[in-house]
Structure 1
Amino acid sequence: MTQNENRDSLALARRTWRTLEPYHGAVYFSPEAADQYAALGVDARTGYFASRSAALGAAPADLVIATFYNFNPQLVRRVIPAAWEAATPQRFVAARIAGIDATLRRILGADISSPALARAAELARSAAEVTLRHPQGRPLFAAHAALPWPSAPHLVLWHAQTLLREFRGDGHVAALLTAGLSGIEALVTHAATGEIDADVLRGSRAWTPEQWEQAVRNLRERGWLDEGPHLAPTEEGARLRAEIEHTTDRLAVLPYLTLGPAATAELRSLMRPFSLAVARELLPWAVDRLSEESA
C-alpha cells in the first residue's frame, strides 16, 4: 500500500466511523434506555456505567475506571459496584438492548424494515466480525464481542457499530497512555482543539473546575498548551494530539480495510440518513458534522 493509499484508507475509515457513531451513541441519550434503567432501580447516569460495563460481568470500580479512562474515578466509585446490588449485569445488558430497540423503532419508524437498513447491517456486521479475531489488548471491546448477536437487522447494525466503536476506543486509550496523558489531560487536549466545548467535556465526566485547572497548568508546563487566556494548543501540542489521532485511526482501520473501499463507502452512504434521523432527535450537535461530511 502506498503512502497516499494508506492516508486515504485511514481517512475513509475515520469518516465512516464518525458517520455511524450517532446510531450507536443514541443509547447514551435515549429516554427509553433511561426508563429501562429506572425499572431496575437506578438513575440514568448509573445506568450508563452499569449497562456499558455489564459485558465485563460484575466489574469492580477499578476495572470500569481503567476501561472508561477519562471519567472522574470518584464518579465511577459512587455508582460501581453499587449498581450490581440493584440488578445483575445480565439484566443491565438486556435493559440496554431493550432501550435502544425502542428508541430506534420510534425514530426510524417504517425505515427500520427497509432494504437499505438491512444492507447496512450486513456490511457493518461483516466489518465488525473482522475485529473478533483481534481481542488482544482491547478489554472493553472483547467483553462486548462475547455478547450474542441480536437477530433484528436494526439491532445487528447497532451491535456491529458498538463493537467497532469499542474496538476503536480501546486503541485510543492505548494511544493516550503512550502519549503520557491522564484521562482528564486527554479531555483538556481535546477541548483545546475546539471540537467540543470544554465545559461539556468537564461536566459530563464529573471533573471539578479545580481539577480541570490543575490539568491545564500541568499541560502548559509540559508544553502542550499555550500560556494565553484561551485554551489552545502549542504547535508541539497540536502535533502530539494529531499523532494520537493518527495512531487511533491506524489501530482502528483493519475492519474497514478488510471490507474494502467500495463496500465501506457504500456502508457510509447507506448509514447517513439513519444517523441523521437519530442525531436530529437525540444528538443535535452531531447534525452539522454529518451534513458537513456528506461528501
Structure 2
Amino acid sequence: MKAARQAWRRLEPVHGMIYFVPEATRRYAELGLKSRAGYFASRSAAMGRTSAEQVIATFYNFCPDLVRRALPAAWDVVTPEDMLTARSDAAAEALRRAGVHELPHLDETVGLARRAALAACEHLEGRPLFAAHAALPWPEEPVRQLWHAQTLLREFRGDGHIAALLTEGVGGLEALVLHGASGEVPSAVLRISRAWPEEEWAAAVDRLRRRGLLGEDDTLSAEGTALRRHIEDRTDALALPAYGALGEEGCERLAELARPFGRAVVDAGLLDLSGLRKSED
C-alpha cells in the first residue's frame, strides 16, 4: 500500500496543476466563464449539465452558496463538451510548458498509469465523479494520456476519500478544518478558497472541539490525529483496486518514474497557489 500511495502522490501534480495554471483560466474566460465558474464547470463537465446539488455532493467541501452562484448558470454560457475540450487543451499546453513531453520514460509512465486507471474502471460502484470521467474517450497524445490517467486515478481516490469521511461522520467543512488544523495547509487558505464564511468555519471548529478532535489551540488533538490517519489509511485501501493491478513491483516502478514528472510540474511553477483569491466571481 505504501508504494501505491507514493505512485499517486508523486504523479498527482500532473493532474493537480490544472486548477492553478493560467492556461486553464484563459481558456475558460474565452468561453465566457470567470475563474470560480470555470473551475466548477470544467471539473463537473464529464457529468453533463450538472446541477449545483450534484457538485456540492461530489466536490464535497465547497460552500454551497458559492457553487450555486456558478451552477447551473454556467450551462447557459457554455456546453459541457466545450468545457471538456478547453480543460484538456489547457492541461496539454501547461504540461508541455513544463517540458513533461520531453522527459525520459514517458511511454512507460503512461503505460503504467493507464493500466492502473483501466483497472479502476472495473470498480465504478459508489464513485460518481470518477465514473463520469471514466466514460470519456482516451486521448491519443502521450502527454494528454498521462494527464487523463492521473485524472481518473485522482477522482477514483477522491470518491473513496469522501466515502471514508462520511463513514466517520466528517462533513466537507469539518474535513477542511481538520486539514487546516494539521498544519499542512493554512486554514485561511482553505477557508477562502472554498468560500466558507467565518462564522460557519468557527461553528465547525466548535463542533470538532466538542468531539475531542481539536485541542484548545485548535490544532489536532491526539484523537484528531488518529482519526485523520485512519481516514487516510482507509482512503489508501479504497484506492487499491486501481494500483493492485500493477502489483507491488509495478507500483514501485511507477513511483520511481513519477518523481521527475511531478518535479517538472512543481519546478515550472504550475502549482502556484497565489491564484487563490477572496473573489467569488
Settle same-fold status: TM greater than 0.5.
yes
- The TM-score bracket by the shorter chain reads over 0.9
Select 1:73's aligned residue among 64, 67, 90.
64
Select 1:138's aligned residue among 113, 116, 127.
127
- In the alignment, what sits opposite 1:231? 218
- In the alignment, what sits opposite 1:122? 111
- In the alignment, what sits opposite 2:279? none
**Which whole-Å deviations, capped at 9, do the CAs of 1:16-58 have from their partners, x for residues lacking one?**
1110110101111111111110111011221111000000000
**Which whole-Å deviations, capped at 9, do the CAs of 1:191-228 have from their partners, x for residues lacking one?**
111111111111111111111111000111111111x2
- 1:283 and 2:271 correspond: yes
Q: Which amino acid aligns with 2:68?
A: R
Select 2:12's aligned residue among 21, 32, 49.
21
- In the alignment, what sits opposite 2:239? 252
Q: Secondary structure at the match of 2:105?
A: helix
Select 1:220's aligned residue among 194, 209, 220.
209
> 1:231: how far off?
2.1
- In the alignment, what sits opposite 2:43? 52
**Larger relative contact order (C-alpha < 8 A, sep ≥ 6)?**
2
- 1:243 and 2:234 correspond: no
Query: Which aligned runs of 4 or more in structure 1 are off by greater than 4 angstroms?
Result: none
- In the alignment, what sits opposite 1:274? 261
> 1:284: how far off?
5.6
How much is the aligned-residue C-alpha RMSD, in angstroms? 1.3
> 1:68: how far off?
0.3
Closer/same/farther in 2, CA of residues 113 and 233 from structure 1, 3 Å limit: closer
Aligned partners of 1:180 and 1:203: how far apart in 2? 23
> 1:115: how far off?
4.7
Aligned partners of 2:24 and 2:240: how far apart in 1? 30
Select 1:186's aligned residue among 157, 175, 182.
175
Residue 14 of structure 2 contacts residue 262 of structure 2 at CA under 8 Å; is this kept in 1? yes
- 1:98 and 2:89 correspond: yes
- In the alignment, what sits opposite 1:36? 27
> 1:141: how far off?
0.1
Q: How many residues align?
A: 272
Q: Secondary structure at the match of 1:253?
A: helix
Aligned partners of 1:246 and 1:272: how far apart in 2? 22
Select 2:54's aligned residue among 53, 59, 63.
63
Residue 225 of structure 1 contacts residue 231 of structure 1 at CA under 8 Å; is this kept in 2? yes
Closer/same/farther in 2, CA of residues 39 and 258 from structure 1, 3 Å limit: same
Q: Secondary structure at the match of 1:125?
A: helix
Where do 5+ consecutive residues of structure 1 fail to align? 1-9, 286-295
Closer/same/farther in 2, CA of residues 253 and 94 from structure 1, 3 Å limit: same
Q: Which amino acid aligns with 1:89?
A: P
Aligned partners of 1:225 and 1:24: how far apart in 2? 32
- 1:11 and 2:5 correspond: no
Where do 5+ consecutive residues of structure 2 fail to align? 274-281
Aligned partners of 1:140 and 1:42: how far apart in 2? 22
Residue 123 of structure 2 contacts residue 241 of structure 2 at CA under 8 Å; is this kept in 1? no
Aligned partners of 2:200 and 2:71: how far apart in 1? 22
